[in-house]
């Protein structure tokens, strides 16, 4: 089996690069531009669809069939709802963050004219020395606001900065990579999976491997709000979503495994495709888990609901504490990358 250890640093640094670019769902142009740069550097074609998703095209040996791997690069975020009389920003969530974990987090506010301000997400009872309910006030959007790092005393001062309703608030991902292989960050869902996709492209390009079928790497946006890959190019007959694997309760996945999802909230994944992925994982001695995801929908769910004539499956590295302070490990990413490689080019893995 191909030794993927030499790609550890590349994969981790690609994840870091993706995480460094703010891409709250609905504002993904910068991260798509980064992916375009990387695709072109590898010598692959790149295109975008109308709503902004990016596609890397990798020609295959058999051009009669086209498969697609889909990873979303949009993340959770917040949007400015209104400005308070004393110059704080009230907000609404984009997607489903665990809101209490946002208390105290740093953020960046991007105005419609492109300026970026920093701030901190706080409870409306933020001071222990003043508010009797500082420790008990519910950490829900209605009871929280963003404190801007700007001298603002009233609503008009904030408006004068160019900040207004509808501006994106990007949450600091706080990315760290530890010596012993952990990737700690918000938004590993799904910049972890997306980094695996870019590393796959890099391996194929550098080793001059040609996948079995024409292969599209689809970088979706708007996944966190449910319609990421709702549109799939017409020639695609199967879609493998590469997203995070769930961990917790009676699920068997860990941060060291590739998770193969049998069913999520949108229903069962394609029976044969799931079986084929399990067989590939076994054949290549990958550390894997088959699980059901209790609260989850993927790009494949969106594709099927969008009416596309495809079969689909879902895999990804096990991610702990999803939509909060997430963590995964190189082993989980490596097993995911190996399964992706086995899927697109079964012969590559035995070389």
Give residues in contact with Zn ion (CB under 5 A).
189-190, 243
Q: Which is nearer to Zn ion, 80 or 339 (CB)?
A: 339
* Cross-strand partners of 94: 77
Q: Which is nearer to Zn ion, 90 or 322 (CB)?
A: 322
Q: How far is the CB of 297 from Zn ion (least distance, A)?
A: 9
Q: How far is the CB of 25 from Zn ion (least distance, A)?
A: 10
3: exposed, middle or buried (Cβ count in 10 Å: 0-12, 13-18, 19+): exposed
Are the C-beta atoms of residues 196 and 337 closer than 8 Å to each other? Answer: yes
227 CB-near residues (< 8 Å, 6+ apart): 302, 306
Q: How far is the CB of 12 from Zn ion (least distance, A)?
A: 19
Query: How far apart are alpha carbons 299 and 73 in whole angstroms?
Result: 11
* Cross-strand partners of 220: 72
Q: What is the distance between the terminal CA atoms of the chain, rounded to a whole angstrom?
A: 6
Residue 259 has a CB neighbour count (10 Å cut-off) of 28
CA nearest neighbour of 52 among 221, 236, 230, 303: 221
Q: Which is nearer to Zn ion, 105 or 243 (CB)?
A: 243
Q: Of the residues 105, 159, 179, 223, which is catalytic?
A: 223
Q: How far is the CB of 274 from Zn ion (least distance, A)?
A: 18
Q: Which is nearer to Zn ion, 66 or 70 (CB)?
A: 70
Residue 240 has a CB neighbour count (10 Å cut-off) of 26
Q: How far is the CB of 16 from Zn ion (least distance, A)?
A: 18
Q: How far is the CB of 210 from Zn ion (least distance, A)?
A: 29
Residue 41 has a CB neighbour count (10 Å cut-off) of 11
For residue 22, how far is the Cα from the chain centroid? 12
Q: Residue 118 has which token pair?
A: 């920093």
Q: How many CA atoms lie within 13 A of 71 on its CB side?
A: 33
In the block, tokens 């500082």 appear at 134
Annotation marks residue 223 as catalytic:
yes
Q: How far is the CB of 114 from Zn ion (least distance, A)?
A: 27
Query: How far apart are alpha carbons 155 and 136 in whole angstroms?
Result: 27
Kind of pairing between the strands at 311-317 and 236-242: parallel
Peptide bond into 188 cis (omega under 30): no
125: exposed, middle or buried (Cβ count in 10 Å: 0-12, 13-18, 19+): middle
Active site residues: 223
């Amino acid at each position: 089996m191909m030794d993927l250890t030499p790609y550890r640093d590349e994969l981790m640094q690609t994840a870091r690069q993706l995480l460094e670019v703010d891409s709250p769902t609905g504002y993904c142009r910068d991260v798509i531009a980064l992916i375009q740069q990387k695709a072109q550097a590898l010598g692959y074609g790149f295109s975008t669809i109308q709503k902004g998703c990016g596609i890397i095209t990798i020609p295959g040996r058999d051009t009669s069939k086209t498969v697609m791997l889909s990873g979303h690069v949009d993340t959770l975020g917040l949007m400015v709802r209104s400005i308070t009389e004393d110059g704080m920003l009230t907000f609404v969530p984009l997607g489903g963050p665990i809101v209490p974990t946002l208390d105290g987090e740093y953020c960046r506010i991007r105005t419609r004219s492109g300026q970026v301000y920093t701030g901190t997400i706080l409870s409306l009872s933020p001071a222990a020395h003043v508010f009797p309910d500082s420790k008990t006030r519910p950490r829900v959007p209605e009871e929280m606001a963003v404190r801007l790092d700007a001298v603002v005393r009233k609503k008009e001062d904030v408006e004068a900065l160019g900040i207004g309703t509808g501006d994106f608030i990007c949450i600091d991902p706080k990315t760290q990579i530890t010596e012993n292989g952990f990737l700690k960050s918000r938004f590993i869902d799904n910049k972890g999976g997306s980094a695996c996709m870019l590393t796959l492209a890099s391996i194929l390009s550098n080793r001059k491997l040609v996948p079995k079928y024409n292969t599209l790497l689809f970088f979706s946006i708007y996944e966190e709000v449910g319609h990421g890959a709702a549109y799939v190019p017409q020639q695609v007959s199967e879609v493998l979503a590469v997203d995070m694997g769930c961990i917790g309760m009676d699920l068997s996945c860990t941060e060291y495994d590739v998770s193969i999802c049998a069913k999520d909230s949108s229903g069962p994944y394609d029976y044969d495709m799931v079986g084929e992925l399990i067989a590939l994982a076994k054949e290549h001695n990958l550390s894997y888990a088959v699980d059901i995801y209790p609260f989850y929908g993927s790009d494949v769910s969106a594709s099927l609901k969008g009416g596309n004539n495809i079969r689909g499956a879902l895999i990804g590295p096990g991610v702990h504490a999803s939509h909060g302070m997430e963590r995964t490990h190189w082993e989980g990413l490596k097993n995911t990358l190996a399964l992706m490689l086995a899927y697109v080019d079964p012969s590559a893995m035995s070389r």
